[in-house]
Amino acid sequence: MEERILSTAAEIVEVSGSAVVVSATQGARNIEKGEILQPDSVVLLGNDADVLVRANDQVFVLQQNCVACLTIFEDGQSQIDSAPIAQLPDLDEVEPTYTEADIAQIQQLIRDGQDLGEALEIQEETRDTNAENSAGDGFVNVARDNAQVLADTQFETAGFSSDFNRVEDEEGLTITFAEGGGSIATQVVEGSISQSTYPQITTGSFFIEQATFQLDAESFEVSPLDIDQVLAELNANITSAGEAVTFVYDQGTNAIVGSVGGNEVLSITITPEQLPNGIELVVTTLVSAPIDHIDFNGQYISVANDQLNIGFDITGKDSSGFDLVEPIAFSTTVSDGSNPNFDAVGATSTPP
């Protein structure tokens, strides 16, 4: 038996070949991408099957000729147990006729590492026969076409951290993850109130190529590891005409917005544009009022030589919930309008 301890429930992110999930409430049915593996079910994989399971930042490949189940403990942790099986039926969908006791008994056999090839009662039936599925000594019978004896195969589960960008099975699934990486760097010069040159704007972009799974545009945001400290440093140090600027993260617009008395001073907006083969990540910095340039140096924010520097990471996920292998590094420089060295607006992006 193989077991993997997880901290969250397991999601099916890819299915290759014939695999079914059996439960007392839904019978035996084809397992589908995107569903959550429930603790009251058993997964059976045929001789051509691979199932990719995601939990937290790990990927697990359940391979052919095996059965698997999920256990959730009182502390909320989960565990995937699995075992090989030498004799397995063709995997057809059948009506719910299994009891909770049937499922529980099979799960216990898996956890105990029993020989499920001998334990599972498999009867040869045709599609034209009204299959009768019963507990039969406490085990599940599965409707099928013909008896099929499969060669013994060595089963194992493989866990992969999100630090890896590829999951490969010699005869089944090959999964790659979006690289990310690279950077967006922009700069903008403050305007002049007397000359009515506000607002000032700069935009930078970077293309992120998708891998096996489509990228999820709605998932791109300031790194959750960074956002609180970025806001804290901005709120503690940025003023406009001597007034403290209040910064918040607006989830609706995916923007960091700073304002004084309800009037916007500075905003940084993240706009992911969904393309057929990836995401064009666009970041716009808008300066709407003067910013005081008082020197300080923080982890994410600094002011020196009349230049305000802001930097943080931007993260995103694919449609199956996997993070980019590397985040996108964003930085912007806001220069005082009196600085002659910055009389133009520009932006650059750097590939990884």
pLDDT in tens, 213-226: 889 999 999 999 99
Q: Which two tokens stand for residue 169?
A: 């099975």
Is the same domain home to 117 and 216?
A: no
How confident is residue 155, by pLDDT bands cut at 50, 70 and 90? very low
Number of C-beta neighbours around residue 203 at 10 A = 16
Same domain, yes or no: 196 and 233 = yes
Contact 202, 285 (CB under 8 A): yes
If asked whether residues 43 and 118 sit together in one domain, one would say yes
The residue out of 176, 204, 233 marking a domain boundary is 176
- Using CA atoms, how far apart are residues 221 and 141, in angstroms rounded to an integer? 49
Verify that 166 and 228 share a domain, yes or no: no
pLDDT tens per residue, range 35-50 = 887 777 778 777 777 7
Q: What is the pLDDT of residues 189-245, one digit of tens each?
A: 998 766 778 999 999 999 999 988 889 999 999 999 999 999 999 999 999 999 999
CB 64 within 8 A of CB 83: no
Q: Judge if 63 and 161 occupy the same domain.
A: yes
Q: How far apart are CA 218 and CA 271, in angstroms?
A: 9
Which is more confident, 32 or 120?
A: 32
Tell me the pLDDT band of 18, cut-offs 50, 70 and 90. Answer: confident
d(CA 26, CA 155): 27
pLDDT tens, position by position, 66-95: 777 666 666 666 666 777 766 554 444 444
Are residues 312 and 287 part of one domain? Answer: yes
End-of-domain residue from the set 114, 148, 176: 176
**Same domain membership, residue 7 and residue 148:** yes
**Domain stops at, among 142, 176, 210:** 176
154 and 201 housed in the same domain: no
Are both 299 and 322 inside the same structural domain?
yes
pLDDT-based confidence at 156, cuts 50/70/90? very low
Q: List the domain range (segments joined by +) for residue 292.
A: 183-350
Do 137 and 275 have their domain in common?
A: no
Domain count, the chain: 2
Say if residue 205 is in the same domain as residue 289.
yes
Same domain, 321 and 208: yes
